[in-house]
Amino acid sequence: MKRVLALLVLVSTAAFTIAAGETTTMKYDLGAENAKWKFVTGQWVRRPSGGRQVLAQTVETQPWAVAVLEDKKFGDVDVSVRFRPVSGREDASGGIIFRAKDGQNYLLVRANALENNFRLYTIVNGKRSTIASARVNEPKLGVWHTIRVVATGPKIEASLNGAPLLNHEDKTFTEGWIGLWTKADSVTEFADLEITGTLAK
């Protein structure tokens, strides 16, 4: 009887936290099948890496590869993902898409193993514009790194491997989906997507 009551409480709590305007936390195993991913461009595959399954973008895609998680839309959001740049001569990048309307309109924070910068972009109708940038030591190829973005109203903060690097305000998009991003010939693996945020109404 106690187990049944506990289950009812758990179900009730879950139903409450996913209501629009409430805050919820979502954790995604990117190596598991999930029909809510929309792979807009690129070739995204699940494959083993270091003894676990990950999600990888594996083919050259111009100008960039986009995957959007059409599960929950968030306004204010705290999102992080681990990424491992495996290879790339033109580009070796990984990024978090947030507040996405679709695969052509979103905000993006990305790191690149071939460049010493960490950047925040707007993508509007497929056109990319840099709105904030910080100098960094290039994240090493073949090593796992973590990107985190915290967006509260117009304020956007972003960190790479725990170091806060970007603090900017932008009102282009106020809510939307979360997603993943690479550019050009990047082969990049992703794991451990975690989202805490306020669900859009």
pLDDT digits (tens, 9 = 90+) for 124-147: 999 999 999 999 999 999 999 999
Q: Which residues pair with 178 in a beta bridge?
A: 69
Q: Which domains does the chain have, with CATH numbers?
A: 22-199 (2.60.120.560)
pLDDT at 201: 77
**Model pLDDT, residue 4:** 38
Q: Over 50: is that where the pLDDT of 170 sits?
A: yes
Helix (H, G, I), strand (E, B) or coil at 16: helix
Rounded Cα distance between 116 and 72, Å, is 33
Of residues 61 and 14, more confidence is placed in 61
> Containing H/E element for 4?
helix 2-17
**Quick check: 13 pLDDT over 70?**
no
The per-residue pLDDT for 8 is 33
Under a CB-based contact definition with an 8 Å cutoff, are residues 145 and 20 in contact?
Answer: no
Stronger pLDDT, 11 or 185, i.e. the higher one: 185
- Per-residue confidence at 18, pLDDT binned at 50, 70, 90? low
3-class SS at 17?
A: helix
> pLDDT value at position 102?
97
Answer with the residue of higher pLDDT: 134 or 18: 134
| Confidence grade of residue 11 (pLDDT, cut at 50, 70, 90) | very low
- pLDDT score recorded for residue 15: 34
The residue that leads in pLDDT, 50 or 68, is: 68
Task: Give me the residue label for tokens 């030591």.
Answer: 137
Q: What is the pLDDT of residue 7?
A: 35
Q: Greater confidence, 61 or 9?
A: 61
Average pLDDT, the chain: 91
Structure tokens at 120: 């925040």
Instruction: Give Cβ neighbours of residue 126 (< 8 Å, ≥ 6 apart).
Output: 104
**Residues 6+ positions from 44 with CB-CB distance below 8 Å:** 37, 55, 56, 57, 58, 65, 67
| Spatial CB neighbours of 65, under 8 Å, sequence gap ≥ 6 | 41, 42, 43, 44, 57, 181, 182, 183, 186
How confident is the model over 46-73, as a mean pLDDT? 97
Total residue length of the chain: 201
Percent of the chain with pLDDT over 90: 88
Per-residue confidence (pLDDT) for residue 176, from 0 to 100: 98
Largest CA distance in the chain: 61
How many CB atoms within 10 Å of residue 149?
25
Burial (0-12, 13-18, 19+ Cβ within 10 Å), 162: exposed
